[in-house]
Amino acid sequence: MKIKWLTQIEPVEADTIPWFVDNIDADQIRDVLADSTVPFAISDHYGSIERTSVPILCIPTWLEFLTGFYSKQSHAPNFDQTNYCVNFTANKKQINRFVMIKLLGWFGIDSFDYTWSGAGDSANLSGMWQEFDQVDPDLKSYMCAPISNIEPRFFLPANSEVGHNRLQIRNTGHGKFSVLYWQEKFQQLYQHSAVSLIAEDIQFQQAALFTEKTLWAAMAQTFPIWIGGYNQARAWQQMGFDIFDDVIDHSYQNYQSLWQRCYYAFAKNLPILTDLEMARSLRNHYRSRLLANRDLIFSGQFGVHIQNTVGSQQSKYHNLLENAVKSYKQRMHEQASLC
């Protein structure tokens, strides 16, 4: 038995455990594993993928690697000022991000800071209505119109341009580019808000994906709400992090349709999203827990979770998995050194 890194979908060999690198579409992963006889598969970006024919080990080696470029003192000091209820980022056309921005307007949420490239100011929502169509006609009509409640606002480096579908950035320097962006723009954006609306690269797939957006929310000591992900809060909690479910109602994550997961992320949490004094008070009250969450990132929690996940498998796979994790880290650092 061997492990093979896959950066795109291809047939899975009988004696090969696939390691899906980056955020390959979860539905495609399900399809390619449908007839597979491998004991498990691996993902380095997902926290969970539901209803697969074989178990998927979700080990956050990407987040562990990325965290190595940050320091608590320089990039995540104690943030004490809360000027907004909410922050969010959206750099490319994606349905959950379009829905997120539109729902901010529908619910009258106006205390927020944000970046939006302007890409994807309209969207074809037919697939969403096919999945769930029990929506108020006035709300549906509003959702189908282009974005008009905010204007584009984005930090643009010299080597970037905005196209129709996304912010195009060239020569970003591997995953290290996120540290530069954090220092020059996003730290200022995240640190002054109580809640981070996190719209990861998820569309209709029933899965939980984690990138620097979730990492930043914890570094900035904010309460997380994931827009569109399925069981996203639960997957983050299983990694050992506080999801503040006594502050945020994460039951939105359990709905079967993308529309419901997005809509109820707002509807079930309106007080903290609309009342700045309440949001500020809650952030101050739970300061110690927010800081503890931040500290977990810099104390090696991702590595602990990786070790626990590897250790939970049959002993005959331990060496195989441990060597694969080491090879992944070596490979990523070699690529980073070339940037």
Tens digits of residue pLDDT in 19-62 = 999 889 999 999 999 989 999 999 999 999 988 999 999 999 99
E runs forming strands in the chain: 2-6, 16-20, 41-43, 46-49, 56-58, 84-90, 112-116, 160-162, 167-169, 193-198, 207-209, 223-226
- Please give the pLDDT value at position 175: 63
- Tokens encoding 86: 């909410």
- Please give the pLDDT value at position 176: 65
Beta-strand pair 46-49/16-20? unpaired
- Please give the pLDDT value at position 173: 47
Q: If you write DSSP's letter for every residue of 178-211 in order, what string do you get?
A: HHHHIIIIIHHHHHTEEEEEE--S-SSSSEEE--
| Ranges in the chain, pLDDT < 50 | 158-159, 162, 164-173
Q: What is the per-residue pLDDT across 92-111, written as a single tens digit (0 to 9) for each?
A: 889 999 999 999 999 999 99
pTM of the prediction?
Answer: 0.93
Amino acid letter, 216: W
Q: Does residue 290 sit in helix, strand or coil? A: helix
